Structure 1
């Protein structure tokens, strides 16, 4: 089974997406969707990285809850700052965050976390993975931001992946 469907969930998503995009449940649409659902994951198999080791599932659950809390909190803060931008403009800044993470899966997770939190943008990763350049929409205290970023995101990811 794994030989023909290396990623069953991906195949199901491709099939469902094809049917939704085609807006038809005709035999031709279903047949072409099924063919794509089998062929595309097979062609993409060499591009997929090996799954990363997940340790400490309790830490992972806390990290997910923390990111959810920070997304809501950040969205409210960014919204307030946008509404008050004429009277008091935000203090945007680029911040260099020193990293101790080296695992590629942990760095990918950190990139996703940074992308979903309003007000932060991942700009650049140093070639040796020792530092990360972030753009922060409204930065009050750089030292506090760095401590928060390291403690809330980097340390749990190290526990989970390294």
Structure 2
């Protein structure tokens, strides 16, 4: 049974969602929703996600607090730039950042941090070169951004997840 229906809760949720979206209990919708639900459950069951190991929970809590503060500061800085009308004087640019972080969970957390911070966005990651490409709205000094991402975020994430 586990092989044919590895995630029964997911399959039932998909079926229920399908029926709600279609607002119908016709046999055709029930069968189609069941097929989609079971199919997605089987597909999801084939993914083999690496095991998650959090090595330093205290550091993760501190990093979370730091990120919340940085996001708030970045919001205010971007708000000032836009309201002051000086957005034409801002220099945007791309920055390549070398990373030692290899954990998929650490990289996902770093992507969330960078993208959640206003004025920055994760563009791409080249795993062979271990290089991250980000876009910065107000780029003054590339070395400051490289140091900020590697020391402030990537190094703690490496300690937490690797």
For the 8 Å contact 2:55–2:161, the answer to whether it is kept is yes
TM-score by length of 1: 0.75
Q: How does 1:8-157 map to 2 (within 5 A)?
A: 8=9, 14=14, 17-18=17-18, 21-22=21-22, 24=23, 26=25, 36-86=36-86, 89-157=89-157
How far apart, CA to CA, are the structure 2 residues paired with 1:17 and 1:80? 43
Per-residue deviation, 1:12: 7.1
Cα distance change of structure 1 residues 45 and 161 upon mapping to structure 2, 3 Å threshold: same
For structure 1, the 5+ residue unaligned runs are none
State whether residues 93 and 139 of structure 1, in contact with CA within 8 Å, keep that contact through their aligned partners in structure 2: yes
Which structure: larger Rg? 2
Long gaps (5+) in structure 2? none
CA drift of 1:160 comes to 1.2
Moved over 3 A (4+): 1-8, 10-22, 24-39, 85-88
C-alpha contact (below 8 Å) 1:102/1:129 kept by paired residues? no
Residue correspondences, number: 160
Is the alpha carbon distance of 1:33 and 1:106 closer, same or farther for their aligned partners in structure 2, counting shifts above 3 Å?
same
Q: Give the aligned CA root-mean-square deviation in angstroms.
A: 3.0
8 A Cα contact 1:93 1:137, kept in partner: yes
Once the two structures are overlaid, the 10-residue window that deviates more, 29-38 or 120-129, is 29-38
